[in-house]
Chains A and B, each alone.
Chain A
Amino acid sequence: MQSMKHSIKHQKAGSLYATFERKGPGAKSSHYCPGCGHGTVHNLIAEAIDDLGIQDRVVFCSPVGCSVFAYYYLDVGNIQCAHGRAPAVASAIRRTHEEAIVISYQGDGDLAGIGLSQILHAANRGENITVLFINNAIYGMTGGQMAPTTILAQKTITTPAGRTAANEGFPLHMAELINTLQAPVFIERVSLGTAAKVMRARAAIRKALRYQTKKKGFSFVEILSPCPVNWKMTPVEARRWLENSLEPVFPPGNLRDLPNAAPAALGAPGAPGATGVSGATGAPRVPGVSGAPGEPATPGAAEPVISQKAATKSERDILEILGANSEPLPTGTVSLAEEQNVKIAGFGGQGVLSTGILLANCAIAEGLRTTWLPSYGAEMRGGTANASVNISHEAIGAPIVSQPNVLLALNLPSLDAFEETVRPGGHILVNSSLVPRQVRRGDLHAWYIPATDMANALGTVQIASVIMVTVYALISGAITIDTLRRVIPLSIKRKSLVDINLRAIDAGVAWHRQECCQDFGRPRLPHVSVAGGTAPGATSEEPPVASSQDPSA
Chain B
Amino acid sequence: MAQHLLKGNEAVIYGALLGGATHYFGYPITPASEIAHAAADLFPRCGRQFLQAECEVSSISMLYGAAAAGARAITGSSGPGLSLMAEGLSYLAACELPSVVVDVQRAGPGLGYIWPEQADYNFIVHGAGHGSQSGVVLAPNSAQEMCDCAYRAFALAERYRCTVFILADAYIGQIMEPVELPVTLQANPVKEWALSGDAAGRGNLITSIFMKVEELEERNRLLQEKYQRMAEEIVDFEEVETADADYLFVAYGISSRLCHSALHELRRKGIRAGMLRPKTLFPFPGKRLQELAGQVAKIAVVELSSGQMVRDVRLAVAGRVPVELYNWMGGRVPSTTEIVQRLEDSLAAGPGRSR
Contacts and interface: CB of A to CB of B under 8 A. Distances in A.
Among A59, A61, A91, A361, the one with the most B-chain Cβ atoms within 10 Å of its Cβ is A59
Given A101-B197, A308-B50, A121 B66 contact: no
Given A71-B205, A309-B49, A397-B260, A323 B4 contact: yes
- Residue of A55, A96, A319 ringed by the most chain B CB atoms within 10 A: A96
Interface in A376-406: 376-377, 395-400, 402-403
Given A117-B57, A319-B185, 13 more contacts: A58-B197, A68-B209, A80-B209, A88-B57, A88-B65, A89-B64, A95-B66, A267-B49, A318-B18, A318-B47, A322-B181, A372-B175, A399-B171
Interface in B199-218: 199, 201-209
A241 B199 CA distance: 42
Interface stretch (A33-41, A184-192, A253-261, A326-334): A326-334
Interface of B: 1-5, 14, 17-18, 22-23, 25, 31, 42-51, 53-55, 57-58, 61-66, 68-71, 73, 87-88, 91, 113-115, 170-171, 174-178, 181-185, 195-199, 201-209, 254, 257-262, 264, 331, 333, 335-337
Contacts of B58: 85, 88, 117-118, 121
Contacts of A519: none
Contacts of A100: 69, 195-198
Given A59-B197, A92-B63, A360-B176, A75 B69 contact: no
A97 B196 contact: yes
Interface in A314-355: 315, 317-319, 321-329
B66 A92 contact: yes
Contact of B5 (A97, A360, A400): A360
Interface residues of A, number: 73
A369 B257 CA distance: 14
Interface in A142-182: none
Contacts of A395: 260
Contacts of A402: 335-337
B209 A91 contact: no
Q: A interface, by DSSP: helix, strand, loop or mixed?
A: mixed
Given A82-B87, A88-B65, A117-B57, A96 B261 contact: no
A372 B7 CA distance: 9
B14 A322 contact: yes
A11 interface: no
A79 B18 CA distance: 29
B50 to A, nearest CB: 7
27 contacts: A75-B203, A76-B202, A80-B206, A80-B207, A81-B65, A82-B88, A89-B65, A91-B51, A96-B22, A97-B69, A99-B198, A101-B197, A308-B50, A309-B49, A317-B46, A318-B46, A318-B47, A321-B42, A322-B18, A324-B18, A360-B176, A364-B178, A372-B176, A377-B331, A397-B257, A397-B260, A403-B335
A75 B202 contact: yes
Interface in A257-298: 267
B205 A79 contact: yes
B88 A397 contact: no
Contact of B42 (A308, A322, A376): A322
A328 B336 contact: no
Interface in A93-124: 93, 95-97, 99-102, 117-118, 121
B69 A323 contact: no
Contacts of A313: 45-47
Contacts of B176: 357, 360, 371-373
A56 interface: yes
A88 B53 contact: yes
Given A92-B73, A398-B260, A373 B171 contact: yes
